[in-house]
Structure 1
């Protein structure tokens, strides 16, 4: 399958009063046509910074793409100027943000806000754009679209506002859709509806999706492949089945162990000990070593390379080195793997 987007050796820094924060430290991944890639990890791992760099939405002045390429349609987005990027943003690559209320203009009707990208990027007339907006509102499941077209964001519920934001993102049939934790601000039932809607829309418009989340439970339902991020790096990447049924990195084990389970009765919820690394002064070795109960001396001295587990599965942990001791995933991970198997059947 053809790659629609490739991120190669991406390094991003923020220049602050305290010094240089090395937020992204050599990220590599590709997105294939029509697939959903989930990027998971704790807050501060670099998920949103990576995708905002693709959209070129990093704050000007104190952020810098120090190294690397973001290849889309034969162009390196990292090298485009603002005017060139405006032709890509919203048309070929769109983004759904976490909080719909901060994504929408409270002073404009919902209809006008969805019309904007159609008029700017598709050169549609007002009447043609209005007709398309009505279709989009229907497509994302908003009832009475003719009436809703004239209403303001405050007249919509949280779930309906997120549907409006999705309609804006899909207006120009983008080739890549980036969803930055689009269900975090919503309750569980609305969350499920939005996820189902996104899966359905992907089939209809044949777009590729990058889905950012810290919730591995969401990933199982929406993703084809999963990239696990920690300390500004991808530490494991593979198909959704490989990550859930054969996880290799101790950090991935920690994330899986910390997933709440309906089977648990008096079981204490697991939390990964310690805190993420300070990227003002990144560690010399594996960034996860201080929190890793399986860490070896080499973890403190040298960053592990990406070891190949299969043609589609790679993990950056010294435990995969031929000379490393054999370590089984912890009991909590093995238990979750059995639960995933039961749920799948």
Structure 2
């Protein structure tokens, strides 16, 4: 049986604002298995980053956790005090942020910044930590590391800074790595290098990754499982093949339909905008933008319907009494390919 390293249950988070309470995370549950990559995808504002920041205890001051659990090693992290978080951050759970320049101290040499977590968490000597930092710089592909270890962040390119941030995150070999859109600010060639680097280091360190992104192309190359998030909820989750080739929720259809591929004939955008979470909808949150929506979608929140042992979707279209609908052509093409893959034994 696959070992779970993290279990998030019924997480609820509000943000107190001058306009009222924003219900940013609404009853979110998922788990992370040892050594796997779980991608959380969705539009900006869907709650992806808030979820990961909660896991590492970095919520804003106006945030309030209204309920739920985040279980790690048999302990609910939401019960942690700040001193407990200091022992976990960078040691057992590490994070890569979107912008490497704001993650690095401009006044400290790169070597010091990479070595610091080892000195803090592992109690090693400065000499040993410096040697390990040099080794890690080479592991993440920074050329002429012996010289560059004494340089400052501004002397590195964006791609190299991101490699340094990855080195800092992995120096203590954490069990969990949270990657919050780590390639967003990079060009596509550097993106590919960073993703390959993360996968190779994951195999070496045997860490588990939660990868936050809105780029489905990145997900296809990185993830083992995918959770599709919208308006503070997870609407669908399954293996990467199930989400890409047999999606069930209309929101997932919309995301895939708007992604360019070599086989795509045309792209569609998702009409409308996400709901106001000051007053969240009581039914399916995607219903106002969903051309397949039924009356019940507006009135009542759908449960998770089981598609397979690893695939679930919260949509009334999966109810036995729901009318049959025809998915967009691109989704039909993918579902046909999925059926062929199963027939040929390429999927379980």
TM-score relative to the length of structure 1? 0.96
- Contact conserved, 1:258 with 1:270, CA < 8 A, in 2? yes
Where do 1:275-290 residues align within 5 Å? 275-290=273-288
From the superposition, tell whether residues 268 and 310 of structure 1 become closer, same or farther in structure 2 (CA, over 3 Å). closer
* Structure 1 match to 2:43: 42
- Contact conserved, 1:257 with 1:336, CA < 8 A, in 2? no
* Structure 1 match to 2:229: 229
Question: C-alpha separation between the residues in 1 aligned to 2:332 and 2:140?
Answer: 38
- Could you give the per-residue CA deviations for residues 124-172 of structure 1, whole angstroms, max 9, x where no partner exists? 1110000000110011111111111100011111110000000000010
SS in structure 1 of the partner of residue 124 of structure 2: coil
Question: C-alpha separation between the residues in 1 aligned to 2:211 and 2:149?
Answer: 28
- Contact conserved, 2:245 with 2:331, CA < 8 A, in 1? no
Question: C-alpha separation between the residues in 1 aligned to 2:336 and 2:283?
Answer: 33
Question: C-alpha separation between the residues in 2 aligned to 1:166 and 1:230?
Answer: 28
Question: C-alpha separation between the residues in 2 aligned to 1:339 and 1:99?
Answer: 37
Distance apart, 1:293 and its partner CA: 0.5
Distance apart, 1:11 and its partner CA: 0.1
- C-alpha RMSD of matched pairs (Å): 1.5
Q: Does 1:202 align with 2:202?
A: yes
Distance apart, 1:9 and its partner CA: 0.2
Distance apart, 1:334 and its partner CA: 2.8
* Structure 1 match to 2:239: 239
TM-score relative to the length of structure 2? 0.95
* Structure 1 match to 2:121: 121
Instruction: Using the TM superposition, name which of 207-216 and 254-263 deviates more.
Output: 254-263
* Structure 1 match to 2:306: 308
Instruction: Using the TM superposition, name which of 321-330 and 191-200 deviates more.
Output: 321-330
Structure 2: tracts of 5 or more residues without a match: none
- Contact conserved, 2:245 with 2:337, CA < 8 A, in 1? no
* Structure 2 match to 1:3: 4
SS in structure 1 of the partner of residue 308 of structure 2: coil
Distance apart, 1:273 and its partner CA: 0.4
Structure 1: tracts of 5 or more residues without a match: none
Where do 1:154-165 residues align within 5 Å? 154-165=154-165
- Could you give the per-residue CA deviations for residues 275-308 of structure 1, whole angstroms, max 9, x where no partner exists? 0010000011111000001000000000001111
Deviating 4+ runs (over 6 angstroms)? 338-342
- Contact conserved, 1:94 with 1:174, CA < 8 A, in 2? yes
* Structure 1 match to 2:294: 296
How many residues get paired? 340
